[in-house]
Amino acid sequence: MRKLNWLMAVVAVALLGACQQGQAGGERLAPEPLIEPIDPVTNPRAAVKERERQMRDHPDLQKMRADILAMIGKAEADDVQQCRVIGFGHKPCGGPAEYIAYSTKGVNETVLQQKIASYNKAAEAENIRLGRMSDCAIVPEPAVSLVDGQCTLSGANKPQGI
């Protein structure tokens, strides 16, 4: 019984360590503090300037996401060959946070992929900065299908609410 408890503890520590490492298995940097310790009561000007600097230095992920989703629109397509799936966002343990379907019809695919890559990189930086954690589950890429002229995710791996 003692050996089983010891073995379970070793496995738990190994899994936790693996989850906290980056994608490349390298060491992660300590997250940057969210707010510089400037007391707004004693130095309101410095506190406001520091907050403005932080807002300027970190991209607005919500705006980036909204721009990408607006570019994708309804993902209308004439044929399923125009439909694509791409990882969107970043899970703290690595990999995409979710998948989205888009259509190559009427969209500059290169520009869209560049915007998504920038968003994914910014999301990863934000996860590291905030010290976020996730379940470390590996979610396979879902299939894409054409339903009523729109590219949609299909299969068991379809994320909820997209």
pLDDT of residue 4: 47
Average pLDDT over residues 139-159: 84
Residue 146 and residue 152: Cα distance in Å, rounded? 6
Residue 45 and residue 41: Cα distance in Å, rounded? 10
Residue 160 and residue 147: Cα distance in Å, rounded? 17
Is this model's pTM higher than 0.95 or not?
no
18-22, 105-109, 127-131: range with lowest mean pLDDT: 18-22
Residue 4 and residue 139: Cα distance in Å, rounded? 30
Which of the two residues, 25 and 55, has the higher pLDDT score?
55
Question: What dihedral angle (degrees, nearest 10) is formed by the CA atoms of 14, 17, 18, 20?
Answer: 160
Is the confidence at residue 107, as pLDDT, over 90?
Answer: yes
CB 141 within 8 A of CB 87: yes
